[in-house]
């Protein structure tokens, strides 16, 4: 069975601080995909990134960066120089290949205080 654990329920940081959101996953598949989504107060889930299991290269997009480590089954997300607009719930998710649905973690609520 697939499982995603986001151990941090809530994080609060002061603006301009860096923050890392943890994600640990479990799967028996050799091919799988990892995602991060942002859920602002408006409710829709906003896609941030997708990685496949064969690509462990870390990725940076502006203030966002992702660290994928298969050895520890982790896919952590770092926001550098956080801003108030980053306040949201962030979800890590996992899927297998083909038509398998996303399995989400319980999310981490990030509050960035000005």
Partner 1 sequence: GAGVSQSPRYKVAKRGQDVALRCDPISGHVSLFWYQQALGQGPEFLTYFQNEAQLDKSGLPSDRFFAERPEGSVSTLKIQRTQQEDSAVYLCASSWGAGVVTEAFFGQGTRLTVV
What is d(CA 42, CA 71) in angstroms, rounded to the nearest whole number? 36
- For residue 95, the minimal CB distance to partner 1 (Å) is 5
- For residue 29, the minimal CB distance to partner 1 (Å) is 12
Q: Which of 3, 16, 63, 97 binds partner 1 (CB under 8 A)?
A: 97
Q: Which of 102, 111, 113, 114 binds partner 1 (CB under 8 A)?
A: 102
Contacts to partner 1 from residues 11-40, by CB under 8 A:
33, 35, 37
What is d(CA 42, CA 101) in angstroms, rounded to the nearest whole number? 23
- Which structure tokens are listed for 108? 């981490």
Q: Is 62 in the site for partner 1 (CB under 8 A)?
A: no
- Taking the least distance from each CB to partner 1, the nearer of 15 and 104 is 104
How many of the chain's residues bind partner 1 (CB under 8 A)? 25
Torsion of CA 29, 26, 76, 7, to 10 degrees: 160
* DSSP helix/strand/coil, 19: strand
Q: Count of residues for the chain? A: 114
- For residue 94, the minimal CB distance to partner 1 (Å) is 10
- For residue 16, the minimal CB distance to partner 1 (Å) is 28
Nearest Cα residue to 60 out of 51, 73, 52: 51
């Amino acid at each position: 069975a697939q499982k995603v654990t986001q151990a941090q329920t809530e994080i609060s940081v002061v603006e301009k601080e860096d923050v890392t959101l943890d994600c640990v996953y479990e799967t028996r598949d050799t091919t799988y995909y990892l995602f991060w989504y942002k859920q602002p107060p408006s409710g829709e889930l906003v896609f941030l990134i997708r990685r496949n299991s064969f690509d462990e290269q870390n990725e940076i997009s502006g203030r966002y960066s992702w660290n994928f480590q298969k050895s520890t089954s982790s896919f952590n997300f770092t926001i550098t120089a956080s801003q108030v607009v980053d306040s949201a719930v962030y979800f890590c998710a996992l899927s297998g290949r083909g038509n398998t649905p996303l399995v989400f973690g319980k999310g981490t609520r990030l509050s960035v205080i000005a």
